[in-house]
Structure 1
Amino acid sequence: MHRLPHRARKALVHRLVESLRLRGRGEVLRGHHNINYVRRSGPVLALLLGAVPFTRFKYRVPLRTVEVVPRIWPREAEVLGVVCRYLREVPPCLADLEDGSVHGYRMGRALSDSAPAGAVGDELMRAFASFFVRTARVPVAELPARPEGWPEDGDTQGFLAWLVRFTQERVHAPNRGRFGALFDAVGIPEDAMARFAARHGCRTSRPFRLLHTDVHRANVVVRGKRLVVIDWELAMLGDPLHDLATHLVRMAYGKEEQGRMTELWTEAMRAAGFTALTAGLHDDLPAYIAFEYAQSVFPDVMRAAIDLPEDAGTEHFHTAADRVERAIRRAREPLRLVDVPGREQVVEALRDWHSTPDQGTTTLFPPAPAPGTSKPVSARHGGGA
Structure 2
Amino acid sequence: MNWRSLYERARVHGDAAAGYYNDNIRVDTPDGPVVVRIPIHGADMMDLRPWREDRVLAAIAPHVRDAPRLLHVCADPAFQVHEFIAGDVLNDVAPRGVPVPPHVLDDVVRLFTQLARVPRLPDVPAYWPADEDTVAFACLLSDLTQRVYDTFRADYAGLFASLAIPADPLRPVGDLWRDLTPRPFTCVHADVHRRNMIVAGGSTTFLDWELALWGDPVYDLAVHIHKMGYLPEEHDALVTRWQAAMPSAHTTGWRHDLDAYLAHERIKSAIVDSVRYSQLFAKGGPYPYPEPDLLASLTAKLNAARPHWHIHTPLDSRTVETALR
TM over 0.5: yes
CA 1:347 to 1:90, structure 2 compared with 1: closer, same or farther past 3 Å? Answer: closer
Alignment match of 1:87 (pick from 45, 64, 89): 64
Q: How does 1:288-303 map to 2 (within 5 A)?
A: 288-303=261-276
Q: Which residue of structure 2 aligns with residue 104 of structure 1?
A: 83
Check conservation: 2:7, 2:79, Cα contact below 8 A.
no
User: Are positions 1:30 and 2:27 aligned together?
Assistant: no
Bigger RCO of structures 1 and 2 (CA < 8 A, at least 6 apart): 1
Q: Which residue of structure 2 aligns with residue 165 of structure 1?
A: 143
Structure 1 alignment gaps of length 5 or more: 1-8, 42-52, 352-385
Q: Determine the C-alpha separation between the residues in 2 that align with 1:23 and 1:160.
A: 41
Q: Which residue of structure 1 aligns with residue 259 of structure 2?
A: 286
Cα deviations across residues 301-351 of structure 1 (Å, max 9, x unaligned)? 123322226689xxx998765444322210012344479767665454334
CA 1:342 to 1:112, structure 2 compared with 1: closer, same or farther past 3 Å? Answer: closer
Q: Which residue of structure 2 aligns with residue 151 of structure 1?
A: 129
Q: Determine the C-alpha separation between the residues in 2 that align with 1:268 and 1:320.
A: 35
Q: Determine the C-alpha separation between the residues in 1 that align with 2:200 and 2:93.
A: 11
CA 1:20 to 1:275, structure 2 compared with 1: closer, same or farther past 3 Å? Answer: same
Q: How does 1:85-234 map to 2 (within 5 A)?
A: 85-98=62-75, 99-117=78-96, 118-140=98-120, 143-169=121-147, 171-234=148-211
Q: Determine the C-alpha separation between the residues in 2 that align with 1:84 and 1:318.
A: 39
More displaced 10-residue stretch of structure 1: 285-294 or 332-341: 332-341
Structure 2 alignment gaps of length 5 or more: none
Amino acid at match of 1:332: R
CA 1:201 to 1:123, structure 2 compared with 1: closer, same or farther past 3 Å? Answer: farther
Q: How does 1:223-302 map to 2 (within 5 A)?
A: 223-269=200-246, 274-302=247-275
Q: Determine the C-alpha separation between the residues in 2 that align with 1:319 and 1:123.
A: 27
Amino acid at match of 2:99: A
Q: Which residue of structure 2 aligns with residue 365 of structure 1?
A: none
Q: Percent identity?
A: 31
* Secondary structure of the corresponding residue to residue 243 of structure 1: helix
Q: Which residue of structure 2 aligns with residue 18 of structure 1?
A: 7
CA 1:139 to 1:310, structure 2 compared with 1: closer, same or farther past 3 Å? Answer: closer
| Post-superposition offset of 1:283 | 1.9
Q: Which residue of structure 2 aligns with residue 329 of structure 1?
A: 303
| Post-superposition offset of 1:206 | 0.6
* Secondary structure of the corresponding residue to residue 94 of structure 1: strand
User: Are positions 1:61 and 2:51 aligned together?
Assistant: no
Q: Determine the C-alpha separation between the residues in 2 that align with 1:257 and 1:230.
A: 22
Q: Determine the C-alpha separation between the residues in 2 that align with 1:311 and 1:302.
A: 14
Q: Determine the C-alpha separation between the residues in 1 that align with 2:227 and 2:48.
A: 16
Alignment match of 2:28 (pick from 19, 25, 40): 40
Q: Determine the C-alpha separation between the residues in 2 that align with 1:77 and 1:103.
A: 10
* Secondary structure of the corresponding residue to residue 307 of structure 1: helix
Q: Determine the C-alpha separation between the residues in 2 that align with 1:317 and 1:29.
A: 17
Q: Determine the C-alpha separation between the residues in 2 that align with 1:306 and 1:147.
A: 32
Check conservation: 1:187, 1:340, Cα contact below 8 A.
no
Check conservation: 1:308, 1:320, Cα contact below 8 A.
no
| Post-superposition offset of 1:175 | 1.1
Check conservation: 2:173, 2:260, Cα contact below 8 A.
no
Aligned residues: 317
Q: Which residue of structure 1 aligns with residue 54 of structure 2?
A: 77
Q: Which has the larger radius of gyration?
A: 1
CA 1:199 to 1:311, structure 2 compared with 1: closer, same or farther past 3 Å? Answer: closer
* Secondary structure of the corresponding residue to residue 109 of structure 2: helix
Aligned-residue RMSD, C-alpha? 2.6
